[in-house]
Amino acid sequence: MTADKKENRTMNDKPANLTVLRGGRRKESPENLADRIYARLKEEIFDFQLLPGDRFSENEVAERMAASRTPVREALYRLQRDGYVDVLYRAGWQVKPFDFRFFEDIYDLRIILEMAAVKKLCEQETRSPLLDDLKRIWLVTPAERIQDPQTVSALDERFHSMLVEATGNQEMARIHQGITERIRIIRRLDFTKTSRVEATYIEHGKILRAVLERRADQGQLLLKTHIEESKAEVRKITLHMLHSAREHLRGETESGA
């Protein structure tokens, strides 16, 4: 997917709330524009266009987004509340530096939730149709496997989310979705390694088979091992790795343009 297509996808996630002006021109409402700027900036953080520690001003963002400072400021304060950026006194804004302890705590919580989900799925009398959807994606022959790392990264995220959603516990799924968003940058870093694609298909296949065969203990063990491998990568993250990931993704974008 090209950068332009990705940008259009992000900026068009929600239908625009438009006001018709004199002469037939249309103006987007400030609330809708703030939502779009929020989504765009968050995607830039996940795509390593904005790296941890990067500083910027409201004026810079407003110019890039072709917007006034009011919706930009609203979007930035929302990102601050969500833990993605910090406001610096008289010095603009900064992408929140990496907090290794925070990410490790998030991974521990993720393990607890997903292991509980596996246990619940194995105990259900009626199998969720979401598991059949996962079978069609992950229980395929090597020749049928998707090789694009960015696509598999997104599918990997959905695999884990769908396992939790399949339990039918909406509150568990809501909490898990919040965790998923916070670790998205780690997941995307992980998938800059070509070896992760094949390993992910193999590991997901084993977890899914255990769930389908109601082998709860084995499924939980496989899942915990799978997630802990990703958690172990957190401590290895350096600024150089983030810069390298940004260049890697830029190269993929330019070659696919």
Structure token pair of residue 113: 């939730």
For 27-41, what is each residue's pLDDT tens digit?
566 678 999 999 999
- Residues 6 or more apart whose Cβ sits within 8 Å of residue 123: 214, 216
For the segment 171-189, the average pLDDT, to the nearest whole number, is 90
The edge-to-edge listing of strands for the beta sheet with 92-95 is: 55-56, 92-95, 85-88
Domains of the chain are 3-95 (1.10.10.10), 100-242 (1.20.120.530)
For 154-172, what is each residue's pLDDT tens digit?
999 999 999 999 999 999 9
Structure token pair of residue 194: 């070509």
Global pTM? 0.73
The DSSP 8-state label assigned to residue 96 in this structure reads: P
pLDDT of 249 > 70? The answer is no
